[in-house]
Structure 1
Amino acid sequence: MYEVEVKVRMPHAEMKNDLIESGAVFSGTEEQKDTYFNSPDRDFAKTDEALRIRNVNGEGELTYKGKKIDKVSKTRPEYNSPVDADEMEQILLALGYFVSGAVNKRREVYKWNRFTIGFDDVEGLGEFVEVESDLRDASSGTEIQNEVKRIFEFLGKYGLSEKDSITTSYLEMVLEKQKK
């Protein structure tokens, strides 16, 4: 599966109110606690990969994210599986993986047309919006790029364009902030 995703920094109120008026469906609020791991044999920061355990309201999920496929979005192959978060962490640590960082955020999720829109309040970083679309059977790069284009058309209604896209991960931002 490919997760086609664009992240922007913006206050939530305007877009959220507009989406509600447009008939978006509120899916819920999640308290997400993400623990990221690095490999004993390669540095995921250098290979543009991610391995994390996400704990959402007490439910665990293991996610592997492959390399991003373009420079304007966060589109990449992604694989997810439900897990017992504590047990999976112990397995990864026993295999030599190590914790590289953590990100905590509150996400309000809305569904609108083909998009999932997450209004993120990230601890220590502030407010962001992520617009996502999952392409389970993407057979071509053209299909993926068309979906990226649709997301930017949607964001254009709010005065946002490719130049506003943030491809840096929350983890990278948190780690950079900790260095200062």
Structure 2
Amino acid sequence: MKNLELKSKCVNLEKLCLLMFELGAEYQKTMHQIDTYFNAPKGRLKLREIDGEIAQFVYYERADESAPRYSNYSIVEITDASGFKQMMMNALGVKAIVDKVRELWMYGNTRIHVDDVNGLGHFVELETVITNQTNTEAQAEHHLVKRALEIDAAEIVPVSYSDLILKSKDGQLPNN
């Protein structure tokens, strides 16, 4: 599967909510997610536990860039999260754990995530899923949402939450 994504620090949550409403984005749900990232030779590998009920094993590859970027990913549902997590910890070791509360909003094929990440703060993440459209159409929708939500280029975060967690533990939380 493939999507076009962008992450940004959210400096004004109230304004973001107003802009999503004005855009016509539709609220879907709020979830508690714990992402356990494992050491991987390439890409990123994580177990996502959602509300303590659903577990997904996710592999994705994405460039670390301060611009919208493509992400190729695969997701597999896991029925025994604790057993699977222990096996992966033994085999690969844990890189980082990201604990967040995520609000999911939708606009067309774009998922808008409003995340409150433990230890890092608030972020907005756009993921335009590329299914029955061209890359050009996906880029147009992605740009429209980015512009409507007034995402500031100075606030764009080029790396994953796991990388931010690791840098914050080293006392090197990036400015962007």
Distance in structure 2 (CA, Å) of the matches to 1:144 and 1:88: 35
The normalised TM-score by structure 1 is 0.81
* Residue 85 (1) aligns with residue 81 (2): yes
1:145/1:70 Cα in 2 relative to 1: closer, same or farther (>3 Å)? farther
1:137/1:155 Cα in 2 relative to 1: closer, same or farther (>3 Å)? closer
- Post-superposition offset of 1:130: 0.5
Distance in structure 2 (CA, Å) of the matches to 1:155 and 1:33: 26
- Post-superposition offset of 1:29: 0.4
**What's the CA shift string for 1:6-42, capped at 9, x where partnerless?**
1111232212223234432211101011100013xx3
- Which sections of structure 1, spanning at least 5 residues, go unmatched? none
Correspondent of 2:163 among 165, 168, 172: 172
- Which sections of structure 2, spanning at least 5 residues, go unmatched? 172-176
Aligned to 1:32: 33
* Residue 56 (1) aligns with residue 56 (2): no
RMSD (Å), alpha carbons = 2.3
Tell me if the contact between 1:7 and 1:74 (Cα under 8 Å) persists in the aligned partners: no
**What's the CA shift string for 1:66-87, capped at 9, x where partnerless?**
2439662342110011102212
- Post-superposition offset of 1:144: 3.3
* Residue 118 (1) aligns with residue 113 (2): yes
* Residue 68 (1) aligns with residue 59 (2): no
- Residues matched between the structures, number: 168
- Post-superposition offset of 1:150: 3.1
Q: Which portions of structure 1, spanning 4 or more consecutive aligned residues, are displaced by more than 3 angstroms?
A: 143-146, 161-164
**Comparing 8-17 with 169-178, which one deviates more in the overlay?**
8-17
